[in-house]
Structure formats: C-alpha cells, structure tokens
Amino acid sequence: MTNVDVSDFDEPLAPDDERRVRRLPVFLALAVLLIGGAVLDRMPLRAAETTAGVAAVAAMPTAAPRTSLSSSWFCAGATATPEGVEGLIADGRVVIANAGDRALEGTITVVPSEGDPKTVPLRVGPRSVTSVRQREVVAAPYASALVELNGGEAVVEHEISGPLGFSTAPCASSASDTWYLAEGSTAREDSMRLAIYNPFPEDAIVDLSFATDQGRAVPSDFTGLVVKGGRMRVVKVEEHVRRRNNVAVTAVARSGRMVVDRIQLRGGAAKGISLALATASPGERWFFPEGLVADGVTERFHVYNPTTREAEVSIELTLDEGATEPFDLTLAPRERLTVLTNEQERVPKNVGHAATVVSLNGVPVVAERSVSAVAPATRSGTADSLGARRTARQWVLASGSATETVDEVVVVLNPGPADATVSVKGLATGQLLAIETLEALVIPAGTRQAIRLTDHVKREALALLVQASSPVVVERGVYLVGTPGLALSSAVPLR
C-alpha cells in the first residue's frame, strides 16, 4: 500500500471551539477511510474488474500520489451531438491536468448512450493540460468518459456548455454503490437529468429515491434500473417527480457500482445550466469558500439528511468583514431543507463570505449551494455545486481560463488555527508558471481570500496548482463576460 503523509489530510480546527474539538475523531476516521479507499480505484479498469465486489470510495475526488502506478477517472454525463437532445445542449469536454514532472500516457474511452464505446490514446506532458471533446470521438445523445493513466498527480474535470451558459465539475476518482445529491429542480421550466455510468463488466441494478419540498418520492419506474456493464444511461427526473422546486437524490445499487452526475437546466427568470458530481457518502463537514449576497445575486444552501436518524446541523459563515451567528437546522430522517441567505438580515450584502456546514450530533448529511445571477448583477447564469469534504496542502484546478471574455476567481479558505502561506501557479506546457503577486500570500487563520486571476494573468487555458503551508480549502468561480454563464466547483486535492 502506498505510503501517505497523514498530515496532508484534515486537521482539527481552532481548539477553543468546543464543538469542533468534539468532531476531531470524525476527521481522523475520514482520513483513514480515504487512505484505505484510494488504492482500489487507482487501478486501471481491467485491474479493478477483479475487485468489483469491494466498495472503496474516497470522500471526494482526490488525485493519486506521485508513486501510484496508475490512476482512473470517471466522467458520467454530457451531450455528444452539436444539436443536443430533448431541449438540452450540454456539449461535453474532458480536461486532464498533469501536475507532476513526468509525462503521463493513457487512454480515454468515450461511452455513448447509443452505439459502441471508442478508445483513443492520451498523452499529457509534465506540468501540462490537454482536453478531449466527447462529440469529436463519438456521436450520440449523451456520453460518459473513462480516463486511464499510467501514473498519479493527474486531475480530471469535465465541462458542459450550451446556449444557457456552461459549467464545470470534477470527475470521480472512484466508483461507488451509493450516490447522493442535496438539490435539483423539476419546476415548470426546469429539467433535472441524472447520468449514471457503470464502468465495470457486470450490470448494475440501481434504485432511485427522492426527497422533495413536498415529501419523499420513490417512483416505481426508477427502481430496479439496469445500467449495463461498461455503459451509461440518463434519467429525466421530471418525468416522474414533477413540478418540484427542490429535489434531493439517493441512488443505491443493489448490485455493482456506478458514478452519478446531475445536469440541471433552469428556465424562468434565472436561466442557466449546471453540472455536478454527486457525492458517494454523506459527511459531517462541508466547506464552501466562495459566497456573496447582492442585488441580483441569490444564494441558497441545501442540506439533505439521507439517514434514518435526526440530524442537527449548523451553517457557519465566515465574513470578509465582521461576524454573524450561524444558522441552526434540525432535519428529520430523509428530509431536506433550504436556507436562502438573501432573506437573512444577519448576512450583509456585497460582503464576501465562506460557509461551513457542520453536523453537530454526528449524523452525516449532504450539502450543496446554488447561486443565480440576474440584472442588476454584472454576471448572469446559475450554478449548483457540492462543498469540499476535506482540507489539504495542495489543490489542482484542471479547467479554467482568464481572458477578456472569461473572468476566473480562485477562493482559498483557511479554516485552521494558524496562518497559511499560499502560492498559486499555472501548469504551462512543461513548467510551473509563477504568477507575479500570487507567491507567498498570507491568509490568516479563520479567514478566506478571493483572488481574481484576470488581474494577474491572461491565458486561454489556465490549469492551476495551489500550494499552502498548512491545510486549506480551494474553490474556483468562472464567469463569462457579457454573456450568460457562471460555474462554481471545488478544486481537487493532490497528495
């Protein structure tokens, strides 16, 4: 088993916070689970086939270390035709970043919803990034992708784009027999689609259940779904869970394992499209470094309790200026709740903030944040994303761009008890690109810092490595200039 520096995993927060001290064993348990679970799904697909009955799942997508002999990434959902399908254009592109100092060889297998998968070779140079558009490999309504590489230190994300904007999300670094989402919408002008990808030879039998703003729903047509081995399928949730503003998801495989993405199309006044990787397990702590309430910008936090126990949850905000009381929630078993921060007087407008969703009684939950922007905001579009589940000293962002038409912001949250020194570097065709003024940034304990990349660098393709002297959390926001489109997603930790 690969040796891993446990100091790179979650560390306790301020010791004078009694509630956080009580949750230290959870961090340690999570680190042990992550170390043990990372090994299986780092095998290439053919090696993993022999262990398909074992569920080894990381808490969130995590890059394999340098010493790994191989790594695999699973990207479940996108459209793969120029015209889209059934009113949805979510043109997919897979982005692979190599943060290491040696070239990686491998393959990408694009798995269409109709027709046969196709495998093409990949080479990603050291400190470099490459991308593959799915519809340039196959032609089909939808497509998933499997990336297999002959080493570690690689991060894979995927993007979708269309007339309503674009979105980015990490691909999965492991498959699982359970997946959860805290949010989604099947309201009148919305479409919620779940892409389910089974990368293994055996068929997966999947049951879907939903928690909505009007109670629980278990449609019979969504039980016993067969996802054939090595294939993918897409489920239109609105066909059986109709006209619901808030929809949480539990996906459980009776047999086999899979990966689940959500593609969310939103109509109405706040139009947009978003892509999100579901989470393989609920957790006791979720970090959201980026946050803002302003005229035209609406922020919501969604918390889902998929367990059979009552959950006591706190949403704690870290303001750029001042302080505020947390939001305390009680969630019944299998219940979901939404907090609209715009309606809370305690959240000041035009003051940036980070949020941490914490389980106070040890019952794990799933947490997401959704953001919509309309006039008079200077940005427009919608974004839905899950929070980060851990802290780390190194984070990689494979996708991104900083140009006159694309505005990228990287937000670093330091939740620990000591100041962190942070550097942001680009992966630029074989070398680490030092970005002037972004070397040795000091982020005090318990604060966050938003870095507008466009003020420091101009690059069409901007993969980033964020390094810190102590564990932090990193999130990226990408905003199109003069056209609808915004995307928010967590970076991927690198061991």
- CATH number for the region 285-493 comes to 2.60.290.11
pLDDT tens sequence across 450-467: 999 988 988 888 899 999
3-state secondary structure the chain: CCCCCHHHCCCCCCCCCHHHHHCHHHHHHHHHHHHHHHCHHHCCHHHHHHHCCCCCCCCCCCECCCCCCCEEEEECCCEECCCCECCECCEEEEEEEECCCCCEEEEEEEEECCCCCEEEEEEECCCEEEEEEHHHCCCEEEEEEEEEECCCCEEEEEEEEECCEEEEEECECCCECEEEECCCCCCCCCEEEEEEEECCCCCEEEEEEEEECCEEECCHHHCCEEECCCEEEEEEHHHCCCCCCCEEEEEEEEECCEEEEEEEEECCCCCEEEEEECECCCECEEEECCCCCECCEEEEEEEECCCCCCEEEEEEEEECCCCCCCEEEEECCCCEEEEEHHHCCCCCCCCCEEEEEEECCCCCEEEEEEEEECCCCCCCEEEEEECECCCEEEEEECCCCECCCEEEEEEEEECCCCCEEEEEEEEECCEEEECCCCCCEEECCCEEEEEEHHHCCCECCCCEEEEEEEEEEEEEEEEECCCCCEEEEECEEEC
pLDDT at position 57 is 54
Question: pLDDT tens digits for 334-392?
Answer: 999 999 999 999 999 999 999 999 999 999 999 999 999 999 998 899 999 999 999 99
Minimum mean pLDDT among 14-28, 115-129, 258-272, 372-386: which range?
Answer: 14-28
Domain spans in the chain, listed from the N-terminal domain onward? 285-493
Percentage of the chain modeled with pLDDT above 70: 88
* pLDDT at residue 282, as a whole number: 98
What's this model's pTM, rounded to 2 decimal places?
Answer: 0.88
154-163 average pLDDT score: 96
Q: Is the pLDDT of residue 29 over 70?
A: no
